[in-house]
């Protein structure tokens, strides 16, 4: 009888622990999504590295809905939600394409925060006091193996790590967030410079 009682207690504690863990994970995701619900626009500095080596630094700006701007030393990428421009400063070349949110290669913040969690197996852990979400897609819709998100106390993404069998591990760190500055729509439109080579693939 004692053995049966011990087994029952073990089963109860295991299920209770799993339920608590799930509830905690759900809350972390809900808090993240609630935070981004309040954000109309943001700008943030980023550093991208691969294999421990810095590959890219710049500024990322986002405005709802689907407006994007990435400024780096050599490349400027802009989208107004309908058209996308990729400008190579050194080569003075612009590639113009149509924005397609359904394109699996388009990995927007909306997909990262809202879509991916519902399509992934999720593990929650801690790293130096920060919540870390490890999201492993449960379908072949995404090309990468998994994504890790390090979240600040105010539910912003401090670090993003993408693990891919082909590309390896890519890490992006974010700093100096500026939120709801009422960024002008003109920041998310682009006029090719005079004399630039234009490749329009729309």
pLDDT tens over the chain, length 202 residues: 444 444 444 444 444 344 434 558 989 999 999 999 999 999 999 999 887 777 889 999 999 888 999 999 999 999 998 999 999 999 999 999 998 766 544 457 788 898 899 899 999 999 988 999 999 998 777 778 899 999 999 999 999 998 887 778 889 999 999 999 999 999 999 999 999 999 999 8
| Count of CA atoms in the C-beta half-sphere (13 A) of 122 | 23
Q: Which domains does the chain have, with CATH numbers?
A: 2-76+100-183 (2.50.20.10)
DSSP 8-state class, residue 199: E
Residues contacting 130, CB < 8 A, separation 6+: 150, 151, 152, 158
Distance CA 169, CA 55 (A): 12
pTM: 0.79
Residue owning tokens 């397609």? 100
Compute CA distances 50 → 53, 70, 179, whole Å: 5, 18, 28
Helix (H, G, I), strand (E, B) or coil at 187: helix
Query: How many other C-beta atoms lie within 10 A of the C-beta of residue 87?
Result: 20
CA distances from 150 to 55, 135, 145 (A): 20, 11, 17
């Amino acid at each position: 009888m004692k053995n049966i009682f011990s087994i029952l207690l073990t089963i109860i504690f295991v299920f209770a622990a799993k339920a608590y863990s799930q509830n905690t994970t759900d809350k972390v995701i809900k808090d993240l999504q609630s935070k981004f619900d309040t954000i109309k626009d943001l700008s943030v500095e980023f550093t991208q590295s691969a294999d421990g080596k810095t590959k890219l630094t710049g500024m990322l700006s986002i405005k709802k809905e689907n407006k994007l701007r990435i400024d780096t030393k050599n490349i400027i990428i802009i989208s107004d939600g309908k058209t996308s421009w990729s400008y190579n400063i050194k080569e003075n070349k612009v590639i113009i394409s149509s924005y397609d949110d359904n394109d699996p290669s388009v990995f927007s913040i909306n997909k990262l925060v809202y879509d991916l969690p519902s399509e992934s197996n999720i593990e929650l852990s801690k790293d130096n006091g920060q919540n870390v979400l490890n999201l492993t897609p449960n379908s072949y819709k995404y090309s990468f193996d998994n994504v890790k998100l390090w979240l600040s106390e105010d539910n912003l993404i401090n670090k993003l790590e993408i693990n891919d069998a082909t590309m390896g591990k890519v890490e992006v760190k974010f700093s100096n967030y500026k939120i709801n500055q009422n960024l002008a729509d003109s920041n998310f439109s682009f006029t090719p410079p005079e004399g630039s080579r234009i490749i329009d693939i729309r």
